[in-house]
A and B are shown apart, each in its own frame.
Chain A
Amino acid sequence: MSKLPPQTITIDGQEIPFEDGQTIMDAALAADVYIPHLCHRPGLSPHGSCKLCTVEVNGRSASACTLPAASGQEISNNTPALKEERKTITQMLFVEGNHFCPACEKTGDCTLQAVAYHLDMLDGHFPQFYPRRELDASHESIVLDRDRCILCALCVRASQEVDGKNVFAISGRGIDAKLIVNSESGKLGDTDLSTEDLAAHICPVGAILIKEHGYEVPIGLRTFDLHSIAEPGLEPVILRKGKNRDE
């Protein structure tokens, strides 16, 4: 008896196999097809907030990270039009927060920055918001710099789903939404977050950083000096560099 052919979806004309339960993003990453993303990380439940992974599925807009793959889906991903829209979404993130790369410890290892480079973003385009956001250095080993937070909630999910804790949460509404911590004082130092936690290393930007580690890797040897964000298999590299050790 012949084996059943694998189910497939089509991404930019290329047939990609998928298994039941996989999202479009899961199937794409498994096939080394890069769909830009910020709030997605394999191993954590998909979120769907950044909207960088926006694709066209049979002519309709969808988020690749949350939409289940299904037979018959014809997906546009790497098109000039989608690149422009993703660039705009990235610019919106840049103007919303205070993303000053030259003074940020994450520069060169930052996923937001790397996605922006990938999309050929040269400027923020829109008027800057310059929000006043709170820095929390109360923890003895970890800094929370909300200027750079993109509300991806990776830290929220990592803490809940992997660390067995519940350190982070998103609070507020609309443009005033912000990251908070689960302690009576509201301070990170009063939570049970530890440097052993995935949540302490998962931040794709420079919002959660380990103290006393910064600028350890020379320019030219940082993650995204050596790799493009679109390269397959980069996730472990990103996470390793997230621990801020030169390897």
Chain B
Amino acid sequence: MSKKIRIATTSLAGCFGCHMSFLDIDERIVELLEHVEFDRSPITDIKHCTDCDIGLVEGGLCNAENVHVLKEFRENCKILIAVGACAINGGVPAMRNHFTLKECLEEAYIHGVGVENPMIPNDVELPLLLSKVHPIHEVVHVDYYLPGCPPPADAFMKVLTDLLEGKEPSLPKEILHYD
């Protein structure tokens, strides 16, 4: 039996919507699992990557931990795919880029409606926030992009199937959407 393709997935500064959309492949996952094995992923709960063929990264970079995870993915995955609007252009989290970090934190934790005991959370275990949210291609080389918010399940299937067949992934117009 030939070795299965190893796929790792993660959501950085993402809402997990892309992961949910991926799971919308429904019963097709059974067939898929004949050919692939999931490595580090919320689906498996494996905490760190081993040698992987494909990395699916949802979400952009908003804090130091995101950067560490992204680098681990880039190091361990032969092919890295930016999945969804946030990984590709920053998405919703990047809307904070029009304000300073201080303004954002104060709005959320000091001046926000309904805040009690106003205080910006601070603990060595909390990853520090980057000044701006960035798409992942600004920090590592990305091999492919899967646009959508989220990309439809069919788009995941098309790209993974292409890669499994050793083809250059392509998206037909019907499943190419940015929204």
Q: Report if A and B touch in the complex (beta carbons < 8 A).
A: yes
User: Chain A residues in contact with chain B, CB under 8 A?
Assistant: 94-95, 98-104, 107-108, 113, 116-117, 120, 122-125, 127-128, 130, 132, 219, 228
Partner-contacting stretch, out of B21-29, B43-51, B84-92: B84-92
A123/B88 in contact, CB under 8 A: yes
B95/A100 in contact, CB under 8 A: yes
B176/A117 in contact, CB under 8 A: yes
Supplied contacts A100-B92, A123-B88, 15 more A-B pairs, CB within 8 Å? A98-B95, A100-B95, A102-B92, A102-B149, A102-B178, A107-B178, A108-B179, A113-B178, A122-B147, A123-B82, A123-B135, A123-B145, A124-B89, A128-B90, A132-B98
Residues of B within 8 A of A120 (CB): 171, 176
Q: Bound complex: CA of A125 vs CA of B144, how far in Å?
A: 11
B176/A130 in contact, CB under 8 A: no
**Chain B, Cβ-Cβ closest to A103:** B92
Decide yes or no whether B173 CB sits under 8 A from chain A: yes
Q: A122 and B85 in contact (CB under 8 A), knowing A101-B149, A102-B179, A103-B92?
A: no
Residues of A within 8 A of B135 (CB): 123-124, 128
As a 0/1 sequence over residues 120 to 156 of chain B, the CB contacts with chain A under 8 angstroms (1 = contact) are 0000000000001011011000101111010000000
Q: Bound complex: CA of A219 vs CA of B150, how far in Å?
A: 13
**Chain A, Cβ-Cβ closest to B150:** A102
Instruction: Give the one of A120, A124, A228 with max B CB within 10 A.
Output: A124
Q: A123 and B89 in contact (CB under 8 A), knowing A102-B149, A128-B135, A130-B132?
A: yes
11 A–B pairs (Cβ distance < 8 Å), ordered by A: A98-B95, A100-B85, A102-B149, A102-B178, A104-B179, A123-B89, A124-B135, A125-B137, A127-B134, A127-B138, A130-B94
Residues of B within 8 A of A102 (CB): 85, 91-92, 149, 178-179
Residues of A within 8 A of B138 (CB): 127-128
Min distance, Cβ A229 to any Cβ of chain B, angstroms:
11
Min distance, Cβ A135 to any Cβ of chain B, angstroms:
11
Instruction: Give the one of B89, B134, B144, B146 with max A CB within 10 A.
Output: B89
B178/A116 in contact, CB under 8 A: yes
Q: A128 and B173 in contact (CB under 8 A), knowing A102-B179, A107-B179?
A: no
Q: Which of B92, B132, B171 makes the CB contact (< 8 A) with A122? A: B171
A101/B98 in contact, CB under 8 A: no
Q: A100 and B89 in contact (CB under 8 A), knowing A108-B179, A116-B178?
A: yes
Q: Bound complex: CA of A130 vs CA of B134, how far in Å?
A: 10
A101/B179 in contact, CB under 8 A: yes
As a 0/1 sequence over residues 166 to 178 of chain B, the CB contacts with chain A under 8 angstroms (1 = contact) are 0000010100111
**Chain B, Cβ-Cβ closest to A113:** B178
Min distance, Cβ A104 to any Cβ of chain B, angstroms:
8
As a 0/1 sequence over residues 88 to 121 of chain B, the CB contacts with chain A under 8 angstroms (1 = contact) are 1111101101100000000000000000000000
A101/B88 in contact, CB under 8 A: no
Residues of B within 8 A of A228 (CB): 173
B145/A94 in contact, CB under 8 A: no
Min distance, Cβ A136 to any Cβ of chain B, angstroms:
15
Residues of B within 8 A of A117 (CB): 173, 176-177
Residues of A within 8 A of B91 (CB): 100, 102
